[in-house]
Amino acid sequence: MNFRPSKSVKPKSIFERFPKNSPVVFELIFDIFAITLSYIIHFLIRFESGLFETDVQPTFFDAFLTGLILLIYWLIAFFFSGLYRDWFVRSPFDEFFSVIKTSFFFNFILFFFVFLDSSTRPRLLFLVYFVNMTFFVLVGRFISRRVQKHLREKRIIQIPVVLFGSSKEVESLLKKVELHPEWGYNIKALILTDEAKFTEAIHLPIYSADELEEALLKEKPFELFIAIDNPNHEYLLQIANKCANQQIKVKIVPDLYDVLTGLVKTFPLYSIPLIEISTQLLRPWEAFLKRMLDIIVSLFVLIVGLPLWIITAILIKLDSKGPIFYKQERVGKDGKIFTCYKFRSMYVDAEKTGPKTTVINDPRVTRIGQILRRTHIDEVPQFWNVLKGEMSLVGPRPERPIFLEHYSKILPMFRRRNIVRPGITGWNQVNSPLFEITPEHLKNRLKDDFYYIENMSLKLDIEIILRTIYLVLRGKGQA
């Protein structure tokens, strides 16, 4: 077998540096043209064709302003509907059906808020605009796909990937990729879990499974494809965790047994069924509403409860000497350090012997601190962290850097919690009221946090918030 030594990594083109954005750029450009063209044609049909009676002929400025507003309206609608993502790798029918569904829904909104002038037959105008706009957007999306395909075949657009797995499965996947240059994948290297037994010469750098991190740092792929016989699920999670730290997407070729028994849900990437581990946990509109919920609830709590928080501050000062607020470094989303705020519930020298986790009936807690912890009022200043965007109402609890390092040594996957904003409350807090740090507790906590991360939704957030309120009113929950 002939192997070529690894070459030095060439500077990446703009498409290689931002491969995930290239389909979005094409979709956005062609949508702008399609929406603008459909508006011009609709304007001509409505005001110049004579098919619709109108008493007012809009000026050029009015027409331009209306067209601009409609363009912004549709771009926002498409964004929140998830139409700006890598649709190129998916079936065009999925994309087209999504466009039609989104176009109908948001045209229906326009029907009520814009086309309610009975003298201009609004139902017919609605139908004309819907058909007109949808047609041009679909044509634009089709042309976008053809242009992207051409650029990928010409190697102008290249997505750097690394293949990981056993030699037989990797070779099979490699052949499929090489047979389809229009996919745009640029195989940078192979990482093998066994000794190479290829039927043909492979002119690519080859690493062992133990060299995974070294290979990812050196080759800098955008995606990692995993193809393993009888994969160990815990091992796959470890790989996914390492890739998440480097913002690398992971796609797994599922085990045949899993597919036949329906144990996994796959999506077709071209002709290959794959499980995708995506960094986009919420659809754009859900992420927007989650953030709006964070802001609205935080403002309400901080402003409406201000008299109570002032009284709390006075009681803290009267009970023991020291500051009103307790500030502490915590690890947030993507490992960023931020200052977390709480009402002080412990004596000022509580950690004179070093950092310690809180225990039940902790002697370091002050008299007023016991009440604050039991009622969870000590957490209220964290709503300021939520307003600043450092935390969310719901999410895994933020850890101190020193404890994160310690827990990560016990459970290497612990850091994966940091792919989302930490929260004031979370699935673990409402399901595990007893607080004790043991290896078994950490595993259960990690399971709860992963459950939340993989099932993030507004519905789940609201459920957790309601459960939290119920536990606080009963004087239970983690403190």
Residue 210 one-letter amino acid: D
The dihedral formed by the CA atoms of 400, 403, 404 and 410, expressed in degrees to the nearest 10:
-170
Number of DSSP helices (H) and strands (E) in the chain, helices first: 17, 11
Enclosing H/E stretch for 403: helix 401-410
Enclosing H/E stretch for 51: none
Q: Which fold has domain 159-277?
A: Rossmann fold (3.40.50)
**What global pTM score does this model have?**
0.62
Q: For the chain, give every domain's residue range.
A: 20-153, 159-277, 284-473
Start-to-end CA distance of the chain, whole Å, equals: 62
Q: Which residues pair with 220 in a beta bridge?
A: none
- Count of residues for the chain? 479
- Report the C-alpha gap between 429 and 434 in whole angstroms: 9
One pLDDT digit (tens) per residue for the chain, 479 residues: 333 333 333 434 434 444 444 788 889 999 999 999 999 998 888 887 777 766 677 788 888 998 999 999 999 999 888 888 877 777 788 889 999 999 999 988 887 776 555 555 567 778 888 999 999 999 999 999 899 888 888 888 888 999 998 888 888 888 888 888 888 888 999 988 887 777 676 788 889 888 888 888 898 898 888 887 766 666 777 787 778 767 788 888 765 434 333 444 445 555 555 666 655 567 777 888 899 999 999 999 999 999 999 999 999 999 888 899 999 999 998 889 999 999 988 887 766 555 565 655 666 788 888 888 888 899 999 999 999 999 999 999 998 888 888 887 777 777 778 888 999 999 888 887 555 556 667 777 888 888 888 788 888 898 899 888 888 887 665 54
